[in-house]
């Protein structure tokens, strides 16, 4: 990194810190909509800061901005994985999944993308049973709104030997995990699309910056 680029990075991080500080004041004053605008601006400048992405996602969800919530939860998950904390990426993806389910049918495309992304992560972490549950619950949610199932062929590495639970309709919106947890995700993806959105991923040229931005 050159001296000029290092200086530019420091200036950017200082600006982001100012935006975050102002956003916190706006939240305390009850002006959450304006605060979200600042959080989004900060998060867009530092896509590699997972806690900043997560805080932006949480406020977006609170303000019922489903598309934004899904985007920033996914960015948080991506940033955690780039920072080599893959286990921490599970929670924001599951929460994004929940948001997507809650906002069907508008979020059907994101739901499919999120489900495949979450299943891939679960498989990498050795959570094959959780990946099966994710597929089952996603398909149950899609069927409940008149969409087609995700074909098993869309996820060729799914462990077909893992138990595949039969889900009651009431299970369709539950978090995709074989174990009980606190929060669950949602997304917005087209039922027949298996491609993951690139909007949720930090640029390949963007360094993993300030991982603690937005925390606390």
Count of the separate structural domains present in the chain: 1
- Tokens 């891939």 belong to residue: 120
For 47-92, the pLDDT digits (tens) are: 999 999 999 999 999 999 999 999 999 999 999 999 999 999 999 9
Is 143 part of a structural domain of the chain? yes
Q: How far apart are CA 103 and CA 201, in angstroms?
A: 22
**pLDDT for position 11:** 93
Residue 162 predicted with pLDDT over 60: no
Tell me if residue 16 falls in helix, strand or coil. Answer: helix
Cα(85)–Cα(215) distance, integer angstroms:
16
The CATH number given to whatever domain includes residue 145 is 1.25.40.10
Residues 3-61: tens digit of each pLDDT: 888 889 899 999 999 999 999 999 999 999 999 999 999 999 999 999 999 999 999 99
pLDDT grade, residue 139 (50/70/90)?
very high
* Residue 182 exposed, middle or buried by CB count within 10 Å (0-12, 13-18, 19+): exposed
Q: What's the CA gap between 66 and 56, in Å, rounded?
A: 12
The answer as to whether 18 is a domain residue is: yes
For residue 176, being part of any structural domain is answered with: no
pTM for this model (two decimals): 0.74
Q: How far is CA 67 from the centre of its chain?
A: 11
For the chain, the residue count is 216
| 204 domain-assigned | no
Contact between 172 and 140 under an 8 Å Cβ cutoff? The reply is yes
Q: Which domain holds residue 90?
A: 3-171
The distance between the two most distant Cα atoms of the chain, rounded to a whole number of Å, is 60
The two structure tokens encoding residue 85: 């904390």
Report if residue 196 sits inside a domain: no
pLDDT band at 137 (very low <50, low <70, confident <90, very high): very high
């Amino acid at each position: 990194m050159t001296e000029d680029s290092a200086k530019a990075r420091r200036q950017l991080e200082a600006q982001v810190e100012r935006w975050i500080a102002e956003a916190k004041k706006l939240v305390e004053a009850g002006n959450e909509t304006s605060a979200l605008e600042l959080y989004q601006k900060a998060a867009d400048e530092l896509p590699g800061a997972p806690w900043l992405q997560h805080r932006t996602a949480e406020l977006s969800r609170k303000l019922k901005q489903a598309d934004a919530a899904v985007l920033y939860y996914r960015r948080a998950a991506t940033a955690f994985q780039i920072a080599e904390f893959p286990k921490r990426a599970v929670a924001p993806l599951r929460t994004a999944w929940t948001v997507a389910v809650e906002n069907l049918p508008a979020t059907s495309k994101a739901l499919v993308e999120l489900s495949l992304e979450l299943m891939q992560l679960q498989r990498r972490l050795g959570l094959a049973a959780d990946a099966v549950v994710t597929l089952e619950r996603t398909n149950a949610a899609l069927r409940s709104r008149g969409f087609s199932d995700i074909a098993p062929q869309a996820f060729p590495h799914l462990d077909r030997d893992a138990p595949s639970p039969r889900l009651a309709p009431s299970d369709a919106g539950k978090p995709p995990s074989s174990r009980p947890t606190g929060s669950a995700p949602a997304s917005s993806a087209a039922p027949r699309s298996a491609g993951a959105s690139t909007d949720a991923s930090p640029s390949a040229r963007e360094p993993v910056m300030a991982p603690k931005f937005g925390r606390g």
